[in-house]
Amino acid sequence: MPNFRWIGRSQSQIGAYVEITVSGSGARILTKGQGPSIHRRFSVEGREGAGIEFYRDTARYITISGNEIGHCAELSSSTDFSDSIFARYESKPNGNGAANGCGFDFSKAGSQFGDIDDIIANGVPEGGRSEAFQRVVNHLAAQGYGVDEIVATLALHPHGIAAKYEGRLRQEVERSFSKAQARQGSRNSGNSGNSSGAPNANFEEPRDLRREITPAVPFPLDALGEILGGAARAIIDKIQCPDAIAVGSVLAVASLAAQAHADIMLPALKQARPLSLFFVTAGVSGERKSKADTEALWPVRRYEDNLDEIYKADLPAYKRAMKAYEVAIHRAEKTKGGRIEIEAAIKAVGDAPETPLVPLLTCPEPTLEGLHKLFLIGQPSLGLFNDEGGSFIGGHSMLEDNRLKTASGLSSCWDGTTIRRVRGGDGVIVLPGRRLALHLMATPDVASAMLSDNKLQEQGFLSRVFASSPISTVGTRFQHPLHPETDPALKRYGARILHILETPPTLVSGTRNVLDPRLLEFDEEATKRWLEFADYIEGMLGSGKPLEPIRGFANKLPEHAARIAGVLTIIESLSAKVVSCATLEKAIEIAEFYTTEALRLFEAGFCPPELQQAEKLLKWLMTDWGEPVIGLSVIYQFGPNSIRDAETAKCAVAILESHGWLRRCTNGPWMVKGKPVKEAWLIVKRV
């Protein structure tokens, strides 16, 4: 703040309003007075740039900062005081022996330092550079610039005001910036000492390109029924994980168990659909996703252990039989005689012994080809379960070149269609009667990458997925005694799942791993309710209707509800043949929960192509581009490949500018990558 000796007296003795100016580098005194027009400036103490300005009865626009020194309740008349100060400076000789009154008249010229932009670009005469430099920094700081932005702005004009500080520009900016911050005092106290380049209150922080996701709603645990609902509550109590994480794990396991035994008949089309369910559950790191999955999967692991024991017991016999077969074939091939005799000898040997089925019910990150091979030599009902879903979502199967192929293959498994694969090395593989359940748990950013993938949306994979991202429980998981019902509920759940897994499913005659599930049908009341629900959903899909943003997913909602109802029915009674209306109502309630989640996650995650390009450009600017300023020509030449045409680049830049990530530079040309450009933007970094 300027050190005028009479500022305090002017406030207390003459009833003046005194404030720090908007720039932070001056003080303003407002009083009442009369007299002739004055519009003059005088130098103070022989210092270039420091001065006092007088205005009375003249046209002058000023900006009141409101940063008052002291307190003035009412302005008083102070004509004598202001006249005495004016007379003192008008009669005081300057350094050259001339009166200050002959120095600078505001009625004939503008600001002593001229336009700030002109100072930045062209500098000022020697002798006034230090004061001008401080004034520039004060001005830019007041406009919301931080150190990084000021350095970047000045560096673009190496022959301007920054010329004096070549090689030490940042140090000088930091020093002047500190002075500016100190002068601004309480007016900018929230930004005091901030040299990171973040905007102050005059500028908003850069805004996210995608809107923030609204909080999740609680899962309707009662809709799961006694067995599954009890298990979900027990896992929540024991692990203290979010509800949707426990529910996703439990429902996925229930689907794995049930899908081998039954299909559900859709009333409208009289089509049988699998009981396969697909889940993608998001949870922050440390959300105990793995522990929840471990609790839900324990009966599956127990059954896999049983299968492994059988496999190991059968393997030696298989190896012996295979060796005998190979020896017998070898001998048959040496049979005397012609083709007919040799063929008869080989036929007499019989078929090769079958390899024991691979004892796996789950696989964490298979390729599509690997999954098909496992279906060929393993169990006909499998689960693709991964509590670290990033290894699958970011793995080989979901790379750019493989993503659509994998999504299409998984979608076919959800549909329950016969797997048909033709490869040069493997020949032709035809696999009917296979079923796949899926549950991928991942961190929100990884899950969002999948849920916002336009290709996966257009292919239809995401319309088959129940996605959820519950509110985190981290920070609330304090130690507590387990509820008395927790362990019994987990045991009942495990016993029921294990019973279903150990019950041999119906197979196509003459096969050992081709499922032939029986049909579950809705009873009369449930059929009527399902048809009403299907019509209701159809009415919500039109243009401007609530479910339009998730039309692909919502279009399958009646089938989703039917599948869930089938799973709940099999869990309640493995021998059931019909689905009751009460069970369907529970399934609809669960489907509506995931509809709410889909609206939150798919809609928030959906990103128009233009916004995707802006995201790519922003990432490139923040990670790969090393200069503080960017121009369109540089983006064309060096930017991301998909943004190297004028139309796309201009659109991306406009989006980033509107969201505050780019700030247009004025009074070019500007130097970018050593070359002048007419249009340039300063890159803004968030604190």
The domains of the chain, with CATH numbers, are 7-105 (no CATH), 116-191 (no CATH), 221-325+359-605 (3.40.50), 609-683 (1.10.10)
**What is the structure's pLDDT at 147?**
81
Look at residue 189 and tell me whether its pLDDT is greater than 60. no
Average pLDDT for residues 143-159, to the nearest whole number? 80
Question: How far apart, in whole angstroms, are the C-alpha atoms of residue 515 and residue 526?
Answer: 27
Q: What whole-number percentage of the chain has pLDDT above 90?
A: 51
pLDDT band at 118, cuts 50/70/90?
confident
Residue 443 pLDDT > 80: yes
**When comparing pLDDT for 632 and 95, which is higher?**
632
Query: How many whole angstroms separate alpha carbon 323 and alpha carbon 250?
Result: 44
**Amino acid in position 299:** P
Q: How far apart are CA 374 and CA 440, in angstroms?
A: 19
pLDDT value at 332 more than 80: yes
Q: Rounded mean pLDDT of the chain?
A: 84
| Range with lowest mean pLDDT among 50-64, 164-178, 598-612 | 50-64
β 435-442/381-386 pair status = parallel
CB-CB contact of 245 with 501 (8 Å): no
The residue behind tokens 């049909």 is 519
Count Cβ atoms within 10 A of the Cβ of residue 378 and give its class: 0-12 exposed, 13-18 middle, 19 or more buried: buried
Long-range contacts of 98-104 (CB under 8 A, 24+ apart): 100/42, 100/43, 101/40, 101/42, 103/41, 103/42, 103/43, 104/40, 104/41, 104/42, 104/43, 104/51
Please name the helix (run of DSSP H) or strand (run of DSSP E) that holds residue 247, with its range, or none: helix 243-258
Number of helices and strands in the chain (H, E): 23, 22
Tell me how far apart the alpha carbons of residues 81 and 78 are, in angstroms, rounded to a whole number: 5
> 34: which residues sit within 8 A by CB, 6+ positions away?
77, 79
Please tell me what DSSP assigns to residue 627: S
Largest CA distance in the chain: 138
Task: Give residues with Cβ within 8 angstroms of 473, minimum separation 6.
Answer: 240, 241, 242, 287
In whole angstroms, what is the distance from residue 298 CA to residue 302 CA?
Answer: 6
* Residue whose token pair is 């005659």: 509
Contact (CB, 8 A) for 410 and 436: yes
Q: Which residue has the higher pLDDT, 449 or 656?
A: 656
Pull the structure tokens for residue 101: 């009154």
- SS3 percent helix, strand, coil of the chain, rounded to 5, is 50, 15, 35
Q: Supply the DSSP symbol for 661.
A: S
Cα of 481 vs its chain's centroid, Å:
36
Roughly what angle, to the nearest 10 degrees, separates helices 524-539 and 581-605? 20
More confident residue, 97 or 89: 89
Q: CA neighbours within 13 Å on the CB side: how many for 260?
A: 22
Q: What's the rounded Cα separation, in Å, for the pair 58 and 67?
A: 24
Q: How far apart are CA 426 and CA 377, in angstroms?
A: 13
The CB density around residue 64, as the number of other CB atoms within 10 Å, is: 12
Would you say residue 85 has pLDDT above 80? no
Q: What is the pLDDT of residue 100?
A: 41
> Which one is predicted more confidently, 253 or 61?
253
pLDDT bracket for residue 348 (50, 70, 90):
very high
- Find the mean pLDDT for residues 565-583: 97
Q: Which two tokens stand for residue 80?
A: 């004598």
Whether residue 413 has pLDDT greater than 70: yes
The C-alpha angle with vertex 321 and arms to 315 and 324, in degrees rounded to 5, equals: 145
Span 571-580, average pLDDT? 97
Residue 530: Cβ within 10 Å count: 24
Query: Which residues are within 8 A (CB) of 317 and not within 5 positions of it... i.e. 6 or more apart?
Result: none
Q: What distance lies between CA 502 and its chain's CA centroid?
A: 42
Q: Which band of pLDDT confidence, cut at 50, 70 and 90, is reported for residue 89?
A: low
**Residue that the structure tokens 């379960």 belong to:** 385
- Extended beta strands in 366-405, E state: 381-386
Instruction: Say if residue 263's pLDDT is above 90.
Output: yes
Q: Average pLDDT in the 378-403 region?
A: 91
522: left (phi over 0), alpha (psi -120 to 50) or beta: beta
The answer, yes or no, to whether residue 344 has pLDDT greater than 90, is yes
148-152, 356-360, 682-686 — which one is most confidently predicted on average?
Answer: 356-360
Q: What are phi and psi of 104, to 5 degrees?
A: -135, 125
pLDDT given for residue 64 in this prediction: 75
For residue 246, the model assigns a pLDDT of: 97
- Please choose, from the candidates 414, 402, 401, the residue with its C-alpha nearest in 3D space to the C-alpha of residue 365: 402
